Amino acid sequence: MLAGRLVTPDGILTGELQAGTTVQSLIPRRLKGPYILPGFIDTHVHGGGGGDTMDGAAGVRTLAAFHLRHGTTTLLPTTMTNPWERVLKALYGIKEIIQEADPNLPDIPGAHLEGPFISPKRLGAQPAFALTPTPERLSALLELEVLRVITLAPELPGALEAAHRLASSGVRISIGHTVASYEQAMTFLRSVRAAGGSVGFTHLYNAMGQLSSRAPAVVGAALSASDAYAELIFDLHHVHPGAMLAAIAAKPRHLLLVTDAIRATGLGDGESELGGQPVRVSGGAARLLDGTLAGSVLTLDQALRNAVACGVPLVQASAMLSSIPARYLGLNDRGVISPGLRADLVVLDDDLQVREVYLAGRKVVG
């Protein structure tokens, strides 16, 4: 049994929570205690604690264990644009971890493929190995049965056909790393939806055309498509607080916070790498040698604290880490503290620091 301030969609309730593998009951009580939130869900995470998705199974274990200590109970290991065979090898590593189903690691319902099907003109920190989504490459991906989300640039040759094929297999399509216009993005979005697919946006504001009065670009498409999901990296380096608040106003039920964390997360300032490229971490930001932001060193508990410090109510901030990404991924068994749902829980103190983490009702941190 846990007792404290339960963060639910209906507000913060004080009381006791009884759970086995799922939440069994919530009993209102007048009491003081820690905050109890649904476990965090990260749909975009490359690494952490010295591990990286591109390392294979061992790297995924390392990054998953690291982010669990920061409250992440479900995550999608995320690949980098690399030579095609290396991308496939990384996906095999993710599949190995999924099949192991280690109860001491966060749940991993699939992978996020960020690249190689992105624009070579909008790589961001991705290495220059962008490819087009040919039928043969799609077949190789789908045979693995591991993809949950794919970042795709709509303007690529064959992108729409690829999106339809992937969506029919249950893969979420996320627009990103793109030079598409507003019109191209909206046409793509409508077409994929008409085919029964789900469309989101990869790290809103970053690696896409910015909103202006006469050229709304992809940011304009993301904000105007209010019921399309969008990731946001809120480490205070990628996105200004005002831009974050504008995104919440445009899509209060469809904005989710992600880390985009890299291997160096949790290791402090110094030298690291991302996708084979040298990276320097300084002052909480990771950058390539040319100054380009290279993922982040963010954890989701810090993203929560950042959002609350910028005026986002705790209930709303919690939703951006739990119920909204759960809905985006179609995970109807988690994301909210409610009877019958998974007892994936994070216990925070008054300063919103992680004190305990529970996976399916079992304490794994604290």
> What are the C-alpha distances in Å from 313 to residues 95, 180, 217, 304, 308?
37, 34, 30, 10, 6
Residue 188 has a pLDDT of: 97
Active-site annotation holder among 55, 260, 301, 344: 260
- Tell me the residue type at 190: R
Q: Tens of pLDDT along 259-318? A: 999 999 999 999 999 999 999 999 999 999 999 999 999 999 999 999 999 999 999 999
Mean pLDDT of all residues in the chain?
Answer: 97
Q: Is the pLDDT of residue 366 over 90?
A: yes
Is 269 among the residues known to form the active site?
A: no
C-alpha to C-alpha distance for 258 and 352, rounded to whole angstroms: 17
Q: Tens of pLDDT along 95-130? A: 999 999 999 999 999 999 999 999 999 999 999 999
- Give me the residue spans of the domains in the chain: 39-334
Angle (CA) 172 173 178, round 5°: 155
Report residue 7: phi and psi, to 5°: -90, 110
Residue 266 has a pLDDT of: 98
| Contacts with 121 (C-beta within 8 Å, 6 or more apart), sequence order | 179
Residue 258 has a pLDDT of: 98
On whether the pTM is more than 0.85, the answer is yes
Q: Tens of pLDDT along 8-20? A: 999 999 999 999 9
Q: Which CATH superfamily is domain 39-334 in?
A: Metal-dependent hydrolases (3.20.20.140)
Instruction: DSSP for 286-345, please give it.
Output: EEETTS-B-SB---HHHHHHHHHHTT--HHHHHHHHTHHHHHHHT-TTSSS--TTSB--E
Q: Tens of pLDDT along 192-215? A: 999 999 999 999 999 999 999 999
Q: Is the pLDDT of residue 88 over 90?
A: yes
Residue 1 has a pLDDT of: 87
- Residue 187: how many other CB atoms lie within 10 Å: 15
Torsion region of 284: left, alpha or beta (phi above 0 gives left; psi -120 to 50 gives alpha) = left
Residues in the chain: 366
Q: Is the pLDDT of residue 222 over 90?
A: yes
| CB 135, CB 166: distance < 8 Å | no
Q: Tens of pLDDT along 17-49? A: 999 999 999 999 998 899 999 999 999 999 999
Mean pLDDT of 86-101: 97
Mean pLDDT of 337-364: 98
Angle (CA) 49 87 188, round 5°: 105
Residue 200 has a pLDDT of: 96
**Which residues sit opposite 285 in a β-bridge?**
282
